[in-house]
């Protein structure tokens, strides 16, 4: 809605009605190319128009709908301008004035008809939600504006008589003019000198407005108040330049090389908003190599959010992080804060003990005296194996208050069975089924998780917006991602089978989906692959006009930058294809086509096709070979053949067919479970009872024995658990039962 009003280029807000607004939008829809560069550009105008038509301008109580409602639900913002944030502010300013006029008109009608008192004025904050637009802007240096901090509108009063809000255009113009004066060194009245003698000519009032540090300096009546030049110690020239850029433009360019120095400068100058921006940047760049350094940095400066987020990351990736050199540099208090926590992701308590020993041995003379205290706070003795205890060296056994006698150790363990397990100790490998509710069953989608080892069934948080036919990936680090898909037909903001570009990452501890940068291209049924520390989205389909089109485009996701980039497309457009990774290569199969993609060279190559070309088959990597299972042949007949591709020899060979027949109409998914190749099968059985046909579905698990080349049923799920749709997908991941909802 906001963007449409910007396109309309209103000159007189008070002369427009809701009908005029919609009509103007329709007239402008075909003239997007003529929009001047100062204004944002609409994509999917028809969709936005449908949203407006499907919603009333007022709620049942007569209150105006927030402009943010239209903006957030349509999700259509695209900008192509140098000062997109200024254009957005102008757009919002116009829209808010129109909204006030509408609410005032409605209120006048109510006062006339029922002589009701005007409702109390309410301050409304309009926010541009970062999860919608930040990922689209960040890569192009667009500014994400928290308009709620810029615009405060007293709702319910005519703008012509009592408009007490902030003029966004005026505020933005003020910043532009101040920046111009700074660039031209005009009207400057203070010179700031930092390390290495670098000087900056600035305006006292701007520095005082942005920083309490400078405000006190210039208004305290001390020597600096009257000096023409002041010297700041401990601030680098690059950091000072970035602080000034932020002061004059509200924008800052962050990088891994400047963020900590800028955080330090913002701390000195007492600019918490800039500190928070730096903290969020560091949080987005956390990895096993830098997370401990970020944690110690946050601890030194007392930034609580940065400290907690880095702590959480260390606990999540503890096994690899504990071998980093920076792990040995932590203080006793920092080490204890990490290890003395239930969320530590370790499968054995022995890993915790070994990490403490490495930390102590790094500086044994200085840390030996504190070892007993660290052990007492961090080690959970009942979780240590008795055989492991008997092998602990004498100095460390003494610190653990243990005797070298295994029988005494066992007695000690028996008396302290009450301690809780770590999060990682409860992890269980589970089969996760997406699109578990049949499309026409009338049931809401669920995401059941089957622990085949125990027979327990849990529920994972379902995909946001009830997305269907999403691309799914479980990375080598056990991170779960979903991307693309479509919203079902009962959605308020989309028609059936409209492709989406949403991309989400699953948070295990919170059992929730976190938004990530959306795909460059909306797509249904794409394949996601993890290769060379990046994620790739390949192919899929879209519905454009009256047609259905397969896609050949491929895009790459960098988790550190939270952005997608296009790479070389596949030689052929594909949907219902298979894709997997092996030794830094991506293999894609469908029908008569078999391709290999080298991400480092950005190059596709052709490989030997399978002997029986078929599509919609299943590919799985097992013992360094690609198994391609079942599928549909050229004559549209289902086949249950199995072929194996030897990657080193570039040759195919046949294996024994699957033990299924056409009568059961099985839907099959392949996966690796506990190191073995498995098939999850949904089979339909038709029975005749008293001359009545009855249909039942069975969900079974089959395991492959490569030594005898045979499949055997190893598990059958109860009928009452779920009714899988025909497009269900299965993946295997380690999940934490205490974080999930158990199905009774």
**Average pLDDT of every residue of the chain:** 77
Average pLDDT on 504-521 reads: 94
pLDDT of residue 224: 82
C-alpha 183 chain-centroid distance: 38
Q: Which DSSP helix (H) or strand (E) runs through 531?
A: strand 527-531
Q: Which DSSP helix (H) or strand (E) runs through 201?
A: strand 199-202
Long-range own/partner contacts, residues 256-264 (CB < 8 A, 24 or more apart): 256/285, 260/297, 261/236, 263/297, 263/301, 263/303, 264/234, 264/235, 264/239, 264/301
Domain range list for the chain: 2-177, 181-414, 427-742
Q: Cα–Cα distance between 241 and 252 in angstroms, integer?
A: 10
Count of CB atoms situated within 10 Å of the CB of 430 = 26
DSSP string computed for 695-707: EEEEEEEEEEETT
Task: Return the higher-pLDDT residue of 435 and 178.
Answer: 178
Structure tokens at 378: 């961090």
Render pLDDT for 3-48 as a digit per residue (tens, 0 to 9): 444 444 333 333 333 333 433 333 333 333 333 333 333 333 333 3
Q: What CATH number has the domain spanning 427-742?
A: 2.120.10.80
> Does residue 127 surpass a pLDDT of 80?
no
For domain 181-414, the CATH superfamily is Potassium Channel Kv1.1; Chain A (3.30.710.10)
Q: Cα–Cα distance between 460 and 556 in angstroms, integer?
A: 27
Spell out the alpha helix ranges (H) of 537-641. none
Q: Cα–Cα distance between 579 and 538 in angstroms, integer?
A: 8
Q: Which residues is 729 bridged to in the sheet? A: 434
Q: Which DSSP helix (H) or strand (E) runs through 311?
A: helix 304-316
Q: Which DSSP helix (H) or strand (E) runs through 679?
A: strand 676-689
Spell out the alpha helix ranges (H) of 538-620. none
Separate counts of helices (H) and strands (E) for the chain? 23, 34
> Does residue 297 surpass a pLDDT of 90?
yes
Q: How confident is the model at residue 497 (pLDDT cuts 50, 70, 90)?
A: confident
pLDDT of residue 171: 82
Render pLDDT for 320-337 as a digit per residue (tens, 0 to 9): 999 999 999 999 999 999
C-alpha 116 chain-centroid distance: 48
Q: How confident is the model at residue 108 (pLDDT cuts 50, 70, 90)?
A: very low
- pLDDT > 70: what percent of the chain? 70
Encode 331-362: b = buried (16+ Cβ within 10 Å), e = exposed. Answer: eeebbbbbbeeeebbbeebebbbebbbebbee
- pLDDT > 90: what percent of the chain? 50
Q: Name the 3-class secondary structure at 734.
A: strand
> Does residue 132 surpass a pLDDT of 50?
no
> Does residue 113 surpass a pLDDT of 50?
no
Q: Cα–Cα distance between 210 and 385 in angstroms, integer?
A: 58
Q: How confident is the model at residue 93 (pLDDT cuts 50, 70, 90)?
A: very low
Give phi and psi for 73, each to the nearest 5. Answer: -75, -35
Task: Return the higher-pLDDT residue of 269 and 27.
Answer: 269
Q: How confident is the model at residue 468 (pLDDT cuts 50, 70, 90)?
A: confident
pLDDT of residue 114: 33
Q: Cα–Cα distance between 21 and 32 in angstroms, integer?
A: 16
Task: Return the higher-pLDDT residue of 444 and 587.
Answer: 587
Full 3-state SS string of 155-199: ECCCHHHHCCCCCHHHHHHHHHHHHHHHHCCCCCCEEEECHHHCE
Render pLDDT for 635-683 as a digit per residue (tens, 0 to 9): 888 889 999 999 998 999 999 999 887 766 678 899 999 999 999 988 7
User: 45-54 and 18-28 are packed helices; what angle lies between their axes, rounded to 10 degrees?
Assistant: 160
Torsion of Cα atoms, 83 then 89 then 95 then 97, to 10°: -130
Q: How confident is the model at residue 744 (pLDDT cuts 50, 70, 90)?
A: low
Q: How confident is the model at residue 402 (pLDDT cuts 50, 70, 90)?
A: low
Spell out the alpha helix ranges (H) of 75-229. 84-114, 130-138, 159-162, 168-183, 204-210, 212-219, 223-226
> Does residue 542 surpass a pLDDT of 90?
yes
User: 237-249 and 259-268 are packed helices; what angle lies between their axes, rounded to 10 degrees?
Assistant: 70
Q: Cα–Cα distance between 523 and 553 in angstroms, integer?
A: 10
Average pLDDT on 262-287 reads: 96
Q: How confident is the model at residue 243 (pLDDT cuts 50, 70, 90)?
A: very high
Residues 6+ apart with CB under 8 A from 626: 580, 582, 587, 589, 619, 620, 644, 645, 647
Q: Cα–Cα distance between 555 and 557 in angstroms, integer?
A: 7
């Amino acid at each position: 809605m906001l963007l449409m009003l910007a396109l309309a280029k209103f000159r007189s807000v008070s002369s427009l009605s809701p009908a005029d607004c919609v009509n103007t939008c329709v007239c402008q829809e075909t003239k997007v190319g003529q929009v001047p560069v100062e204004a944002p550009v609409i994509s999917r105008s028809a969709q936005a128009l449908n949203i407006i038509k499907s919603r009333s301008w007022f709620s049942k109580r007569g209150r105006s709908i927030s402009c943010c409602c239209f903006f957030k639900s349509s999700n259509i913002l695209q900008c192509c301008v140098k000062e997109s944030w200024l254009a957005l502010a102008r757009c919002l300013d116009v829209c808010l004035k129109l909204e006030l006029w509408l609410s005032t008109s409605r209120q006048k009608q109510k006062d006339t008809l029922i002589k009701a008192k005007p409702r109390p004025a309410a301050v409304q904050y309009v926010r541009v939600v970062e999860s919608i637009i930040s990922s689209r802007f960040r890569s192009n240096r667009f500014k994400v504006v928290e308009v709620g901090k810029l615009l405060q509108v007293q709702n319910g009063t005519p703008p012509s008589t009592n408009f007490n809000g902030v003029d966004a255009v005026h505020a933005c113009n003020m910043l532009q003019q101040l920046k111009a004066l700074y660039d031209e060194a005009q009207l400057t009245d203070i010179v700031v000198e930092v390390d290495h003698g670098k000087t900056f000519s600035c305006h006292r009032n701007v520095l005082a407005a942005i920083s309490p540090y400078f405000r006190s300096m210039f208004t305290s009546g001390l020597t600096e108040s009257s000096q023409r030049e002041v010297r700041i110690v401990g601030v680098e020239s690059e950091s000072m330049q970035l602080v000034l850029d932020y002061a004059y433009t509200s924008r800052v360019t962050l990088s891994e090389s400047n963020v900590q120095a800028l955080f330090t400068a913002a701390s000195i100058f007492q600019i918490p908003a800039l500190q928070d921006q730096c903290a969020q940047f560091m949080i987005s760049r956390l990895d096993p190599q830098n997370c401990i350094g970020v944690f110690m940095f946050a601890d030194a400066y007392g930034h609580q959010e940065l400290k907690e987020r880095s702590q959480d990351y260390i606990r999540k990736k503890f096994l690899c992080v504990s071998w980093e050199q920076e792990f040995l540099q932590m203080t006793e208090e920092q080490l204890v804060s990490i290890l003395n926590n239930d969320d530590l992701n370790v499968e054995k308590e022995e890993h915790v003990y070994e990490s403490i020993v490495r930390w102590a041995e790094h500086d044994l003379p200085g840390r030996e005296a504190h070892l007993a205290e660290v052990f007492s706070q961090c080690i959970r003795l009942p979780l240590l194996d008795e055989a492991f205890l008997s092998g602990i060296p004498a100095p460390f056994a003494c610190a653990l208050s243990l005797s070298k006698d295994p029988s005494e150790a066992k007695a000690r363990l028996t008396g302290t069975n009450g301690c809780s397990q770590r999060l990682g100790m409860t992890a269980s490998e589970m089969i996760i089924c997406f699109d578990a509710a049949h499309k026409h069953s009338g049931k809401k989608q669920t995401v059941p998780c089957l622990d085949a080892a125990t027979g327990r069934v849990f529920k994972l948080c379902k995909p946001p917006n009830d997305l269907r036919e999403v691309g799914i990936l479980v990375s080598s680090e056990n991170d779960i991602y979903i991307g693309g898909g479509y919203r079902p037909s009962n959605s308020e903001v989309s028609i059936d089978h409209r492709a989406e570009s949403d991309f989400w990452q699953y948070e295990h501890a919170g059992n929730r989906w976190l938004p990530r940068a959306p795909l460059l291209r909306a797509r249904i049924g794409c394949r996601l692959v993890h290769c060379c520390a990046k994620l790739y989205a390949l192919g899929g389909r879209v519905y454009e006009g009256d047609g259905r089109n397969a896609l050949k485009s491929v895009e790459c996701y960098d988790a550190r930058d939270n952005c997608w980039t296009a790479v070389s497309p596949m030689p052929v457009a594909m949907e219902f294809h298979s894709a997997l990774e092996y030794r830094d290569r991506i293999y894609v199969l469908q029908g008569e086509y078999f391709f290999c993609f080298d991400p480092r060279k950005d190059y596709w190559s052709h490989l030997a096709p399978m002997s029986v070309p078929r599509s919609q088959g299943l590919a799985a990597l097992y013992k360094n070979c690609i198994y391609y299972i079942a599928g549909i042949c050229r004559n549209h007949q289902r086949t249950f053949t199995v072929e194996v591709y030897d990657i080193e020899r570039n040759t195919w060979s046949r294996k024994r067919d699957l033990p299924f027949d056409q009568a059961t109409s099985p839907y099959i998914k392949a996966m690796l479970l506990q190191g073995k190749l498995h098939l999850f099968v949904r089979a339909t059985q038709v029975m005749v009872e008293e001359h009545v046909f009855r249909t039942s579905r069975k969900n079974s698990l089959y395991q492959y024995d490569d030594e005898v080349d045979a499949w055997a049923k190893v598990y059958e799920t109860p009928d009452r658990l779920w009714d899988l749709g025909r497009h269900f997908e299965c993946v295997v991941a380690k999940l934490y039962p205490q974080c999930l909802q158990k199905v009774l």
